[in-house]
Structure 1
Amino acid sequence: MLKRMLAFISALVVFLGVAFVMTGNRNQKTANSKKIPTVGILQLQTHPALDAIHRGVIAGLKEYGYVPGKTVKIDYQNAQGDQSNLKTMSQKFVNEDADEVVGIATPAAQSLVSAAGKTTPVILAGITDPAGSGLIKSDAHPGANVTGTSGESPLKSHLDLLRELVPGAKTVGIIYTTSDHGGEYNAKKFAKICKQEGVKYKMFTIANTNDMQTVAEKMASEVDAVYAPQDNGVASAMKTLVSVTNKAKVPVIPAVDTMVKAGGLATLSVDQYQLGKLSGEMAAKVLKGKSTSDYAIKVITKGKMTLNLSEAKKLGITFPASVLKEAKTKGVVYQ
């Protein structure tokens, strides 16, 4: 009887030991799986400025040890300009329990904020006027689960540059996309500065990129120069815009360096890659435990001179020596 009892006790001890080890292994596996966070990145569409922000976000995460495929899983989604895709992709991140999501372009950020509710951290990547877009309470105190970066165009400097390069311009055309909050914000703010400076202007809008050809033709016949603000729709249709304005010998001063590369004349541009990199760094700090609610929005306004020499030649424009020097020493010159 005693032998049976001892045998039973021995078997029980062995069983409990095995169970403890197995439970420990399962817990260890769970712990290990949680060490690799998932970051969802949602981009409105493909074009050089947004692509540069995306590359910057990845670089910023790497700066703090989050290497894609090793120490962080990146779930990158591109809506290709389709608003319905934004909603589906945003919900996908939430359903799959992403630890954090990053929005590139205002519509993408708005969709993520709507899907995330008040739980999943949302990092804004270069969003114009985030408070005016309803994404945060204020730049200083975003509140809730949203923070990130904002790239404010140096609009007064853009107007000064336009007047310096096209001194004979009597009327400036300003074009933006009606569905792009950032584009509308910048366009109307630029128009206000024109009014304050006594510069005559005309506003033109497109509903989407398909409208650009027709609207650009009308605009080119009525103005002496064009201002293209930081606007996703206009940026995507930049080549169409320039093909029309070049025929009319009307220069385009855009807000972003990638738009200069696509045919614009010149700009003072906030570096989109650096903007994305700063967003990636902020995303990394949030992953490490920093609260979003009191993490102030970081705003970049300083621009670098970017020139397009071939475009200037087509239009018969000579860059002033001071402008050319600034671009060569501190900015970018496209041949």
Structure 2
Amino acid sequence: MKRLFLSIGIILAILVGAFFGASHSNNEATSQKKIPTIGILQFLTHPALDAIHRGMVDELAKEGYVDGKTIHIDFQNAQGNQSNLKSMATKFDNENADLSVGIATPAAQVLANTVNGKVLFAPSTNPVAAGLVTNLEHPGNHVTGVSDQAPLKEQLALIKKFVPHLRTLGIIYTSSDISATTEAKAMTKLATKAGLKTKIYTIAQSNDLAQVAQTMAHNQDIDAVFVPTDNTIASSMPVLLQATDSAKMPVFPTASTMVQAGGIAAVSINQYQIGVTTGKMIAKILHGQTINDTPVEFMKKGELVINVKAAQKLGIHIPADSLKQAAAIKGGLIK
């Protein structure tokens, strides 16, 4: 009889141990599931896009979402390769990421067409034309984000101020880039309305830039060049500037990083702040706010950035008030 009771006791002990072991495993699994996974897909490596990424991660940490502790961030960089974009977006979908973020329009477009879950763009200049949303106030479906539409009126005024004899404005952009195309067309309209002539040059890919830039630089009618928010040209600024600098043709881009690379000046949207704004939006959605109730946010205020060395190299006079304005902004003067 004692043996029978002993056997029963051993069996009960095993069953209790198994129960608590399974319960502990389930608790661990439940705990792990509670940590949100954010997939971040960056189009390519470039200072502007890197700054957006940093701003996003920093703001998430301030909101209490620290990578590796209270959140898991799966960061992928496609390096401008379309097949990489697709495979990385599929990875996010397979791991059921709570939210996926596309840094730059091409990344966001692939995510929107691949991932079944929530998607943010950070940024997209014209999200409607890019097919990301149909309504800016009530995006619907599963996509919203931040727009970086450059302050083009201020940019044109800046170019005219730095180049008083401006008569013809050259505009160069990547035809397959929705954001770049949107801004290029808008600037063309503004310039025409201001009584200026425009000369338009487009490239299909980065390999086209050297030849097209040389063709543009040989056009002696062009007094200055405008470059919109264009990831392809931004990543190849030295190629563009090699042609324009030799022709003493000043280039005015929209991004501060492109000014740092040798452009003359820009009224630039702060790329890091785009990331911060996106980080705040991510936090709201993780807290329960729905995509449909999260309107597209616009970065409206630009900051003056001047490359003093580049201006001096081309003999461009920097107006005293512009110099003072840029000096008052952190990183506003590049020497």
Same fold (TM over 0.5): yes
Q: TM-score, normalised by structure 1?
A: 0.94
Structure 1 residue 7 displacement after superposition: 6.7
Alignment of 1:214-225 (within 5 A): 214-222=211-219, 223-225=222-224
The alpha-carbon deviation at position 309 of structure 1 amounts to 0.5
For residues 181 and 74 of structure 2, the distance between their equivalents in structure 1, rounded to whole angstroms, comes to: 30
Structure 2 match to 1:176? 173
Structure 1 Cα separation of the partners of residues 99 and 311 of structure 2: 44
Note the 1:1-335 alignment, pairs <5 A: 13-117=12-116, 120-222=117-219, 223-330=222-329, 332-335=332-335
- 1:63 and 1:281 in contact (8 A); partners too: no
Deviation larger for 298-307 or 7-16: 7-16
The one-letter amino acid paired with 1:207 is A
Instruction: State the SS of the aligned residue for 2:208.
Output: helix
Residues 273-312 of structure 1: CA deviation (Å, up to 9, x unaligned)? 0001111121122222221121111101210000001111
Residue 330 of structure 1 aligns to a residue whose secondary structure is coil
Letter in 1 for 2:121: L
Structure 2 stretches lacking a partner, 5+ long: none
AA at the equivalent of 1:334: I
Question: In the alignment, residue 226 of structure 1 is paired with which amino acid?
Answer: V
Question: How far is the alpha carbon of 1:12 from its aligned partner?
Answer: 6.3
Stretches of structure 1 that go unaligned for 5 or more consecutive residues are none
After the TM superposition, which segments of 4 or more aligned residues of structure 1 sit over 6 Å from their partners? Answer: 3-9
Shift, 1:180, TM fit: 0.7
2:16 maps to a residue whose letter is G
CA distance in 2, matches of 1:285, 1:14: 47
Between the aligned partners of 2:51 and 2:111, the Cα distance in structure 1 is 20
Q: RMSD between aligned alpha carbons? A: 1.7
Q: Secondary structure at the match of 1:245?
A: helix
Q: What SS does the aligned partner of 1:108 have?
A: helix
Q: Distance in 2 between matches of 1:78 and 1:55?
A: 14
SS at match of 1:149: strand
Instruction: Point out the more displaced range, 280-289 or 163-172.
Output: 280-289
Name the aligned partner's letter for residue 333 of structure 2. Answer: V
CA drift of 1:26 comes to 1.7
Deviation at 1:138, TM superposition (A): 1.5
Equivalent-residue separation in structure 1 for 2:210 and 2:145 (angstroms): 35
Cα distance between partner residues in 2 of 1:132 and 1:236: 23
1:252-287, CA deviations, whole angstroms, 9 ceiling, x for partnerless residues? Answer: 010010000001000100000000111112112222
Q: What is the one-letter code of the residue matched to 1:287?
A: L
- Give the letter for the 2:334 counterpart: Y
Q: How much has 1:229 moved relative to structure 2? A: 0.4
For this pair of structures, how many residues does the alignment match? 332
Q: Structure 2 CA distance, aligned partners of 1:217 and 1:169?
A: 20
Over the matched positions of the two proteins, sequence identity in percent amounts to 47
Structure-2-length-normalised TM-score? 0.94
The amino acid that maps onto 1:264 is G
Amino acid at match of 1:69: G
Q: Secondary structure at the match of 2:293?
A: coil
SS of alignment partner, residue 302 of structure 1 = coil
- Give the secondary-structure state (helix, strand or coil) at the position aligned to 2:333: strand
Taking the aligned partners of 1:300 and 1:312, their CA distance within structure 2 comes to 27
| 1:219-270 alpha-carbon deviations (Å, 9 max, x no partner) | 1222111000001111111111111111111100100100000010001000
Q: Aligned equivalents of 1:139 and 1:277: distance in 2? A: 20
Deviation at 1:11, TM superposition (A): 5.9
